């Protein structure tokens, strides 16, 4: 298990865009299971949407990407590097994510060739899938 300080040693994101609170499981270069506690005081809820707060889908994808970055950047040869988006494929949003939810973020690296790879990404709340798709990344 990694806490927030250990996560920040692996990925360069910092608040307010750092979207992970803890990592439960990590296999460097292969997979990561992380969590984001979704709080009503997050700045995006002020405008998305007033009176009906819903976590923006793009931030769910960013949360998944950060979990994937923890997986890939925790490999010894990738330490100190950054993982950038190369693409988002087949991402589907199944249910809204609301304040008070605990977002479980699972990313499994399914292929990598040189600095480019693909991760299968799933976000869930209470065991129910809220978003799923593939994320392509490039290590720089």
Give dist(CA 62, CA 123) in Å, integer: 11
Give dist(CA 125, CA 134) in Å, integer: 19
**What is the separation, in whole angstroms, between the first and last Cα of the chain?**
26
Provide φ and ψ at 12, rounded to 5°: -85, -10
Of 21, 30, 48, 134, catalytic: 48
Of the candidates 35, 47, 133, 134, the one whose C-alpha atom is nearest the C-alpha of residue 92 is: 133
**Is residue 108 annotated as part of the catalytic site, yes or no?**
no
- What positions carry a catalytic annotation? 48
């Amino acid at each position: 298990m990694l806490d927030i300080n250990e996560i920040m040693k692996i990925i360069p994101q910092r608040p307010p865009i750092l979207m992970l609170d803890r990592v439960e499981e990590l296999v460097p270069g292969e997979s990561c299971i992380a969590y984001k506690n979704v709080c009503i005081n997050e700045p995006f809820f002020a405008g998305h949407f007033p009176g009906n707060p819903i976590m923006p889908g793009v931030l769910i994808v960013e949360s998944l990407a950060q979990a994937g970055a923890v997986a890939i950047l925790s490999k010894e040869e990738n330490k100190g590097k950054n993982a950038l988006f190369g693409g988002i494929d087949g991402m589907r949003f199944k249910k809204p994510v609301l304040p008070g939810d605990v977002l479980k973020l699972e990313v499994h690296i399914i292929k990598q060739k040189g600095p480019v790879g693909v991760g299968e990404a799933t976000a869930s709340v209470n065991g129910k899938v809220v978003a799923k798709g593939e994320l392509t990344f490039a290590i720089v």
